[in-house]
């Protein structure tokens, strides 16, 4: 029992966590090329099949790279607007004010982040924007939060517990009004486009609760390794319960 779980956790926490993005990336690309190759080359040998998969993949690969650049550059305006507004809000003391109101709850959720830190303010603003369905506003606020969390992070290339928890809550955020989905449903002739609001809210709450619990359960298992040229990992980030100062 102990042996098996130890090996399992070693694989998951040391091997996979460092490599997972690299592996997923390579696996996706290889699987796509293999599938396309299969549906193009097998018919040549066995007869039948329509082919053209490789051509579609070639086209999509180049389009996707192009889309990525367009998407990022398309963000410049809104991103600049919000980082500008946030800078004013910060200087005016508004972010600190909101953070102070939310302090009792957030201190419990993010024990590693000081209550009056700008990261706390950015996290609250990001969550509020997500709740209102303001996706365009939420992203820059979230990036701001990550930047502030990075200043608290002793190992600059490794995610801190607070960052992972913030992202887990961010990707499962509660949405009051799924506006884009409702618009799509109306456009396609739905007679009751808004009936999805309540089930969406309840389902998101389930996802958020699970993401929170999974994060808290796993953070002690995924040890922080120091960056090259940095001193050994400190007790703060390897503390299994994440409650050390």
Binding positions for other proteins, 95-124, rule CB under 8 A: none
With vertex at residue 231, the alpha carbon angle to CA 227 and CA 236, rounded to the nearest 5 degrees, is: 90
Q: Are 223 and 233 in contact (CB under 8 A)?
A: yes
- Contact set for other proteins, span 188-207 (CB under 8 A): 188-192, 194-200, 202-204, 206-207
Shortest spacing between CB 61 and other proteins, in angstroms:
6
Contact pattern for other proteins over residues 122 through 161, marking x by CB under 8 A = ----------xxx--x-xx-xx--xx-xx-----xxxx--
Direct distance between the N- and C-terminal alpha carbons of the chain, in angstroms, rounded to an integer:
33
Using CB under 8 A as the binding criterion, the count of chain residues that bind other proteins stands at 109
Distance separating alpha carbons of residues 33 and 19, to the nearest angstrom: 21
Shortest spacing between CB 245 and other proteins, in angstroms:
20
Distance separating alpha carbons of residues 130 and 163, to the nearest angstrom: 17
* Binding span for other proteins by CB under 8 A among 3-11, 78-86, 100-108, 110-118: 78-86
Distance separating alpha carbons of residues 55 and 40, to the nearest angstrom: 9
Distance separating alpha carbons of residues 224 and 22, to the nearest angstrom: 18
Judged by CB, which is closer to other proteins: 104, or 191?
191
Among 43, 59, 107, 116, binds other proteins (CB under 8 A): 59
């Amino acid at each position: 029992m102990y042996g098996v779980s130890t090996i399992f956790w070693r694989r998951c926490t040391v091997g996979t966590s460092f490599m997972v993005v690299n592996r997923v990336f390579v696996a996706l690309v290889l699987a796509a090329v293999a599938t396309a190759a299969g549906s193009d080359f097998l018919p040549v040998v066995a007869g039948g099949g329509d082919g053209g998969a490789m051509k579609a993949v070639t086209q999509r690969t180049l389009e996707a790279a192009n889309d990525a650049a367009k998407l990022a550059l398309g963000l410049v305006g809104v991103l600049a607007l919000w980082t500008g507004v946030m800078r004013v809000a910060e200087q005016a003391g508004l972010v600190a004010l909101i953070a102070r109101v939310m302090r009792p709850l957030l201190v419990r959720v993010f024990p590693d982040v000081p209550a009056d830190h700008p990261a706390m303010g950015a996290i609250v603003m990001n969550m509020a924007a997500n709740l209102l369905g303001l996706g365009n506003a939420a992203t820059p606020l979230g990036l701001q939060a990550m930047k502030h969390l990075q200043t608290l992070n002793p190992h600059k290339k490794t995610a801190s517990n607070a960052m992972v928890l913030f992202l887990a809550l961010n990707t499962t955020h509660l949405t009051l009004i799924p506006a884009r989905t409702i618009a799509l449903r109306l456009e396609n002739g739905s007679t009751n486009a808004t009936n999805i609001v309540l089930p969406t809210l309840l389902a998101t709450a389930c996802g958020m609760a699970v993401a929170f619990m999974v994060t808290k359960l796993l953070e002690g298992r995924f040890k922080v390794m120091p960056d090259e040229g940095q001193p050994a990992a400190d007790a703060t980030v390897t503390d299994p319960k994440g409650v050390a100062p």
